[in-house]
């Protein structure tokens, strides 16, 4: 009995000591450290996330899909596809499912994903009923976001947004955040880095003679800038403040005298590649222009837009020749056949369409619902016999260009394939993914001959 009593006394003493220590800790900790978790606020937490990641596409200026996310009212009302959220039910809310990738299209579209802490804040805010601003909250200065500082434990790869093969085929330009990496495709060595671009290099193109590379980027609703680099001298030779919103596509004319740029600001602009002087502004699209291509003779410039149209232009006069308007949703990518007599396009309606280009009009010749989700990119092989597509369903497909018969499907891509480029000899197909991975497929058997975990070290 005495031993049991002694044990009880010891346990009581042990518990008492720890209660004293715990009380002392509570006394010295700041109130915020012991307070219950604060519910997310629209003004201090949610609005800054939307402003940084979503308002570029969904605001009073660019009301894509009829949706505004620059106001609480717009967020609650939703757009053409209905409400953007269901208060109290994050797993029934399209905006939450899209930022997590559980609903197509994944958002933000063609940009860096939200951080996990931002996704968690959005989800918690929806779960507590998606409350709006309180009292005069909107009239006060936005509070600084209360986000914890989290140190990364892994080195993350920068997403790939654009690719272009050098005309001789031995170099590949890779558009990433802040600029372009130039690699040797035979060794994987990093040959050069062309930095200094605003935000993401959404577009990259080599000049026909292979001496220059043009890079397009910019900040949403702020700027669209172009940098032109001399590859041999590793020197920037031209900067152009080209647009009022991000550049989505650019292309050199076959004679290399003109650089065409397309932007989210709905404009197409033509520039003198030597002086940087603006030659023409082409205005007829009513939504973002995502893709551009010249025909081989340089007499036509073709554009594809989120307004569901493809337009054919005379790049010398700036005249719009005609419009192809069969698509039922926005166009993400176009490709011109090497003969210059056909154009193919793909976009949100999942369909490949092929038109015969005639002098005064275009005639649709083939259509195929090719993917389960939006087509992100389309390209012809250099011999014009194949069409390659990538889509938000994480597949790459190869089709017979004459019949649109499916030849090859590369399933289970690790992430969206945001860019692809055939080598000039047609023997390889390079693809860049949103997770930063790069592959180069042999176009005979489509085995990955160059899968990387990042960019190899710079060669000596």
Q: State whether 120 and 172 are in the same domain.
A: no
Same domain, 235 and 252: yes
pLDDT of residue 3: 45
Helix (DSSP H) and strand (DSSP E) numbers for the chain: 6, 26
Q: Does residue 345 form part of some domain?
A: yes
Is 459 a domain residue? no
Determine, yes or no, domain membership for 199: yes
**Both 29 and 56 in a single domain?**
no
Task: Specify the number of domains making up the chain.
Answer: 3
Q: Write out the chain's pLDDT in tens, 460 residues.
A: 444 444 434 444 444 454 444 444 444 444 433 334 678 888 888 888 888 888 778 876 667 778 888 788 888 888 888 888 888 888 989 899 989 988 888 888 767 788 898 999 899 999 888 888 765 444 333 334 444 555 545 445 689 999 999 999 999 999 998 889 999 988 888 999 998 787 889 999 999 999 999 999 988 888 899 999 999 899 999 999 999 999 999 999 999 999 999 999 999 999 999 999 999 999 999 999 999 999 999 999 999 999 999 999 999 999 999 999 899 999 999 999 999 999 999 999 999 999 999 988 999 999 999 999 999 999 999 999 999 999 999 999 999 999 999 999 999 999 999 999 999 999 999 999 999 999 999 988 888 876 543 444 344 3
In a domain, 143, yes or no: no
pLDDT value at residue 44: 82
In a domain, 248, yes or no: yes
Are 213 and 108 within one domain?
no
Instruction: Read off the CATH number of the domain in which 333 is found.
Output: 2.130.10.10
Per-residue model confidence (pLDDT) at position 60: 63
Q: In this structure, are 289 and 436 located in the same domain?
A: yes
Q: Could you tell me the residue range of the domain that residue 436 belongs to?
A: 162-442
Residue 460 falls within a domain, yes or no? no
Cα 120 versus chain centre, distance: 22
Both 166 and 273 in one domain: the answer is yes
* Domain-embedded: residue 455: no
Are 71 and 212 members of one domain? no
Last residue of a domain, which of 133, 148, 174? 133
Confirm whether 88 is domain-assigned. yes
* 8 and 61 co-located in one domain: no
Whether residues 128 and 181 fall in one domain? no
- For residue 31, what pLDDT is reported? 43
DSSP 231-275: TTTTEEEEEEEEESS-EEEEEE-TTSSEEEEEETTS-EEEEETTT
Determine the 3-state secondary structure of 62 from DSSP. coil
Rounded CA separation 391/103 (Å) = 14
3-state DSSP assignment of residue 460: coil
Q: Are residues 239 and 362 in the same domain?
A: yes
Contact 228, 236 (CB under 8 A): yes
Task: Report DSSP letters for 118-145, one per residue.
Answer: HHHHHHHHHHTT-----TTGGGSPPPPP
173/61 same-domain check: no
CB-hemisphere CA count at 13 Å for 138?
7
Element (DSSP H or E) covering residue 7: helix 2-28
How confident is the model at residue 204, as a pLDDT?
97
Q: Are residues 198 and 267 in the same domain?
A: yes
């Amino acid at each position: 009995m005495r031993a049991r009593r002694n044990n009880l006394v010891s346990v009581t003493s042990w518990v008492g000591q720890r209660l004293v220590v715990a009380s002392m800790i509570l006394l010295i900790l700041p109130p915020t450290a012991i307070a219950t978790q604060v519910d997310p606020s629209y003004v201090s937490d949610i609005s800054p996330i939307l402003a940084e990641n979503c308002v570029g596409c969904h605001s009073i200026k660019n009301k894509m899909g009829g949706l505004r996310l620059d106001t609480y009212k717009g967020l609650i009302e939703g757009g053409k596809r209905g409400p953007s959220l269901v208060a109290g039910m994050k797993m029934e809310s399209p905006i939450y499912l899209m930022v997590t990738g559980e609903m197509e299209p994944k958002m933000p579209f063609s940009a860096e994903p939200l951080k996990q802490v931002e996704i968690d804040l959005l989800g918690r805010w929806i779960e507590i009923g998606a409350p709006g601003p309180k009292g005069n909250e909107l009239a006060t200065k936005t509070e600084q976001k209360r986000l914890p500082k989290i140190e990364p434990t892994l080195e993350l790869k920068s997403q790939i947004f654009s690719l272009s093969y050098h005309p001789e085929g031995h170099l590949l330009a890779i558009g990433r955040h802040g600029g372009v990496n130039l690699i040797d495709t035979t060794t994987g060595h990093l040959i050069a880095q062309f930095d200094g671009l605003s935000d993401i290099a959404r577009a990259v193109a080599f000049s026909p003679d292979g001496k220059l590379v043009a890079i397009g980027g910019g900040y949403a609703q702020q700027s669209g800038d172009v940098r032109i680099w001399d590859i041999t001298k590793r020197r920037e030779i031209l900067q152009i403040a080209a647009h009022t919103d991000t550049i989505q596509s650019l292309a050199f004319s076959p004679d290399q005298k003109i650089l065409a740029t397309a932007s989210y600001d709905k404009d197409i602009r033509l520039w003198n590649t030597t002086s940087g002087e603006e030659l023409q502004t082409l205005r007829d699209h009513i939504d973002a222009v995502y893709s551009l291509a010249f025909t081989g003779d340089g007499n036509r410039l073709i554009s594809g837009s989120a307004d569901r149209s493809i337009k054919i232009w005379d790049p010398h006069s700036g005249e719009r020749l005609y419009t192809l308007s069969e698509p039922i949703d926005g166009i993400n990518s176009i490709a011109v056949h090497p003969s210059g007599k056909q154009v193919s396009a793909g976009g949100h309606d999942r369909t490949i369409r092929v038109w015969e280009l005639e002098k005064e009009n275009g005639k649709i010749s083939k259509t195929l619902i090719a993917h389960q989700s939006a087509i992100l990119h389309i390209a012809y092989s250099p011999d014009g016999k194949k069409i390659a597509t990538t889509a938000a369903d994480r597949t790459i497909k190869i089709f017979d260009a004459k019949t649109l018969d499916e030849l090859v499907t590369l399933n289970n891509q690790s992430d969206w394939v945001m860019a692809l480029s055939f080598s000039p000899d047609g023997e390889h197909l390079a693809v860049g993914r949103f997770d930063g991975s790069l592959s180069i497929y042999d176009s005979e058997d489509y085995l990955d001959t160059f899968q990387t975990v990042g960019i190899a070290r710079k060669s000596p």
